[in-house]
Structure 1
């Protein structure tokens, strides 16, 4: 990193530094060097020299013209000296020791170089945008940095420790630029300028669309399509030349990283993908905003929807595109869209189709569907049905929860319905407030009697409850005589001290079995027996 003279003056602010620099020259420093009392330096413009004014007096005009020197001495003497010749001097009053000034400069250079190294390392190791923005924010205090994409959705932001600006706080809370902000862009003529707006780091004074000073840099694809903005809003203090120099250093790097990632690892988001992201991320509070995007997607507002999220162990773009194309060809049930969203694939399905029909349709193409998931190392989570379009954010959370608990409990299955896994999410929420053992888990553990190894009382009770207390079906599943099942059930009731005729007791026992599954990290098998014609019958919980 090369450090410009405005940053040097900022580092020396506490020493009452005064600059006497030629307007014709601009310096970018890479290191600091003390003047050698015995010999003049070989002049290098990227070195900041430091010495006494007495040493400066012995340097030739050729050296003084090429370099910049921080010198300790009387301001008036240095001013008069610099006025009579082409010298570039920064004066420090004589009450400050040379060693103190040098230490301050060395420490400042190291902080800046460390900042630069951290930023370069984050880029080389392909960290996410939030990591990069957090690094960039170190020298900007409580002034937020916000990075957005082409749909004005926030990709990353530095968060002030306390609310400070109504407009900025709303953006950070919602995760996107609301309509009044984008209207502000229009009023300041940004859309009219198109790809020519903010192509270099730009500083804007107040009044502005955000009613605060800001620095901004835009990102555009090679074809001129707008991809996003990187902006620093000065809501906490006034911007300085140092702020602008630092912004001018990191913003182009962040922009180039964003462009490279769009080019190498992801498709540039289409307007449809950006709009569906708005629907997924935001709520009915922004109904007008979301309805505009729904119309752009040509999605009927009167329809209901079910959402499927396909999550990947490792997102690789060609695999995701392959999956999208295959899904469009193999799905047997009606759907509105199959598209990319962040590092996943979304399927927007008709919500008026029951879960049983979806399951049946998947089973018709089960091997093909599983093969697609296996090749792409993907896991599919389905929300429940009948969501209005403007509540798609809830469907998205449900689908993600289905994937999360499905991968945890049944990783071999590959696709999961929230209706089968919601209970585990409820249990996880419950355990944040109460001990799970206080359900009936402790009582169930009483059935684990080492003296009765030949009897699986837990399995018998669970099968009995899941088969709607059918003695005959339970006997078939357990390969026991029905009289033996009745005997064991009576004994189980005596051990537990519970009345199995009570529906609330049965519900709590079933939830306790779910707790045991969650604690074990896998689901227990669903009871299966045979019908009279020999076909399998499954009892879905």
Structure 2
């Protein structure tokens, strides 16, 4: 962390209100970064501008100027460098004459002894160093935004809010529950920036300023109750978060803004690290997943052991998507995969055997309606690629990475079945699992091996009556024995349906109240449809 003279002096005077400053300090001095604070040594030939020196002797002021010029001759440094870069503090109870101090001397009038004043400055400097250490450690641990705010509240002493690009509130200062600020309280209550505030910021061109320069400053008015500092943090040219600080402090603005920028820089470093870790871990994890596909018999125990070293949870709500398209050239495919990765952050996406494999982590409570959810999510991403013959094949949802290879086989088998897609790019294994099961068996004569004999008897009779019996029985089973629905589908009277169903039951000795009988008949119809012996 860069600790400047302004930071040290501002906090020092806030803690020691009895002390007074009797020197004019240049902007160069105030914003100069310090490596530490030291007592002014007796021999001053090797003083460094990177340190703040402390003394209680006025005499040393002129001596320091002379010694600095000896160490830094005019032909090496500009004549005024010693007068601007090097700073030292003189403690005293009485103000000196103006001629007794050089311009790089900072006189603090106080009754504190030199040791007490030096220790007070050291403590202030140490507080900033400790804050910086906590921020660095939070970055190392990938802490959440709320923790960054929590460890910064005492230092910054102003409320901070962090929003995502959609203006959802991600974290905020908890030390100001009764703050009289409509924007702050409404954001906390709603969990997002409300429409009225968004329109106000748009009118004030706050978002436009942040898009152009990365930051904006707002002044209080009838709507905005406090001045604020806003900063947009971008990672790889993509907006990541907005950070907002409300200026409610008595500290100078320049001081608060300096601390706020340290906070924002830490958030930026965190996001850069998370992005770099994500790219690195994604590459490692992609190789791990490809190895599972190459070796589908890998024992679950081995997968659990190996997954420990990958950024992937063994258990979760997963689904595999195999994407096939006419995008075959490697540069185009790489671009397409990167686009998918940018828009599907929580997914693992990689090229594999002529297609693109997506391990999708379904949100909780979306397992039952996952089809509609995935259609909605993927439509927005793929709508610009409608001319690239994209087809998506979905496995059944599964709950452990140990089932990943099997789920891939489910999705990829749909592609190999050359199904008629009927103008849709979405194909779900649960709609075709029986066809896959039948098609994967070695028997050539599927109907003999899998069909209910009564259906084969009707089929082979091939009379008007038997064909009608097949049609009525199929609709009766598909409509879950709801006679009115069957009659409507076949254009028959309900009583007529009852008569034919009773006849079929008696003639072929079929008990339609038995669920196993109904299951065998339905599966038999699917086999006949697969064998193209029954068209419906």
Normalised by the length of structure 1, the TM-score is 0.49
Normalised by the length of structure 2, the TM-score is 0.50
